[in-house]
Amino acid sequence: MIPRYARPDMVAVWSPETKFRIWFEIEAHACDAQAKLGVIPQENADAVWKAKDVEFDVARIDEIEAVTKHDVIAFLTHLAEHVGSEEARFVHQGMTSSDVLDTCLNVQMVKAADILLEGMDKVLAALKKRAFEHKDTLRVGRSHGIHAEPTTMGLTFARFYAEMDRNKNRLEKARWEIATGAVSGAVGTFANIDPSVEEHVCEQLGLRPEPISTQVIPRDRHAMFFATLGVIASSIENIAIEIRHMQRTEVLEGAEFFSMGQKGSSAMPHKKNPVLTENLTGLARLVRMAVIPAMENVALWHERDISHSSVERGIGPDATITLDFALNRLAGVVEKMLIFPENMLENMNKFPGLVMSQRVLLALTQAGVSREDAYSMVQRNALKVWEERVDFQEQLLADADVVKALGEDGIKEKFDMGYHTKHVDTIFNRVFGE
């Protein structure tokens, strides 16, 4: 992932230095367990830990791999250069490369999930704050992009909060699902290594032993992890699209913060473009790009092949780094977002009173008018509002059929905005539990 869309902590999770450190820990902990079983001498297991503070030389490992054409063997050779050839001769005893690679990958994905969960907490905190701030700020709800009925800006933020809260729960489950390790040897039978070694390594790394591995950890776990990242990315886009809509010149109910010295266009000095949320829309596509390859990785030949390996080397870092950046950018956008309540009311009144059409319709049916006739009575007046920008209430008061059914006071009573906000507290209690 390019540095423009990357944050240091998540980048560090996927660095070669981090990877080789985890590889070392897997091998060293395995040696400890082997020594406890009496499979290897204790002094050899102890000797491996001489490298616990070593900064493994990435260039040297690459140099060895250029000859061996095998990354794990290159690392083990380099480890022996630090520990000593004789002392390191029992390292990797009974293990296969996937024991190291897969367990390491899952450790990295767990670390990545923890950072992503922190990012989600920032987004949730920002959405909650803005939801309560604008709990009663009226705006028109839209369906198909067309004015529907009144809602509040607080409810808009609250529904995004609820969506992201579900996503946090999904990510916690995905983190749990991916937190397994395998040290089961060739084809996963433990023929050359005792299951207790796997248990010890996993315990030390904060993982659970994979109940049954072949020569790899089952890739349905990884597919679920990346699918979850894809859903979170789609929710980010969902929020970004709403903000982009609100920032349109014709709408202008909300906007990204525009900082001092910021320029919107190289050609038109007046422009204030929603560049951050447009960027989030694009980043969401990059995260989702990993989902299908991750699902295609589930189907491997027999006990293993390596068709998944090259894919994961790319999508592991790219998807998590991109999503981490997107979550933190979104949190900042929501925190600083400008809200324009006056424009919300002005937009709602662009077609005066029209958003009350359903309430009038329901009142007519309750007054004894058939639904078909009631719909016709309301629609003929509503269409005049669309076409002539006249006041809907005044049109109804001038319609003898409507007045006969509801009376003038009955019509006027149907234009109380409080009718549409009376259950906001109930919804907030459901979302926030307070």
Residues 382-425: tens digit of each pLDDT: 999 999 999 999 999 999 999 999 999 999 999 999 999 999 99
Looking at residue 131, the DSSP 8-state letter turns out to be H
Across the range 187-199, mean pLDDT stands at: 97
Across the range 179-190, mean pLDDT stands at: 97
Structure tokens at 296: 């295609």
| Tens-digit pLDDT profile for residues 29-82 | 999 999 999 999 999 999 999 999 999 999 999 999 999 999 999 999 999 999
Classify residue 98 as left (phi > 0), alpha (psi -120 to 50) or beta: alpha
- CA dist 339 and 129 (Å) reads 13
Taking the CB of residue 172, how many other CB atoms lie within 10 A of it? 14
**Domain 21-83 bears CATH identifier 1.10.275.10:** yes
For the structural domain made of 354-414, what CATH number should be given?
A: 1.10.40.30
The question of whether 29 is a catalytic residue gets the answer no
Give me the residue label for tokens 């994979």. Answer: 210
Could you give the percent of the chain with pLDDT greater than 70? 99
Write down the catalytic residue from 15, 265, 310, 376: 265
Q: Are strands 208-209 and 146-152 parallel, antiparallel or unpaired?
A: unpaired
- CA dist 318 and 323 (Å) reads 8
Write down the catalytic residue from 85, 143, 144, 302: 144
Higher pLDDT, 30 or 257: 30
| Tens-digit pLDDT profile for residues 112-157 | 999 999 999 999 999 999 999 999 999 999 999 999 999 999 999 9
Topology classification of domain 97-345: Fumarase C; Chain A, domain 2 (1.20.200)
Q: What residue type is 228 in one-letter code?
A: T
- CA dist 242 and 37 (Å) reads 60
Structure tokens at 168: 């946090």
Q: Give the pLDDT of residue 280.
A: 97
**What's the whole-model pTM score?**
0.94
Q: Give the pLDDT of residue 153.
A: 97
Domain with CATH 1.10.40.30 in the chain: 354-414
Q: Name the residue among 20, 19, 28 with its Cα closest to residue 83.
A: 28
Looking at residue 144, the DSSP 8-state letter turns out to be T
Looking at residue 145, the DSSP 8-state letter turns out to be T
Task: Decide if pLDDT at 1 tops 70.
Answer: no
Domain with CATH 1.10.275.10 in the chain: 21-83
Task: Decide if pLDDT at 202 tops 90.
Answer: yes
Give me the residue label for tokens 């309750």. Answer: 366
Give me the residue label for tokens 């140099």. Answer: 63
- Average confidence score pLDDT of the chain: 95
Q: How confident is the model at residue 268 (pLDDT cuts 50, 70, 90)?
A: confident
Across the range 221-234, mean pLDDT stands at: 98
- CA dist 267 and 271 (Å) reads 9
The question of whether 200 is a catalytic residue gets the answer no
Structure tokens at 89: 């001769």
Give me the residue label for tokens 């995905």. Answer: 174
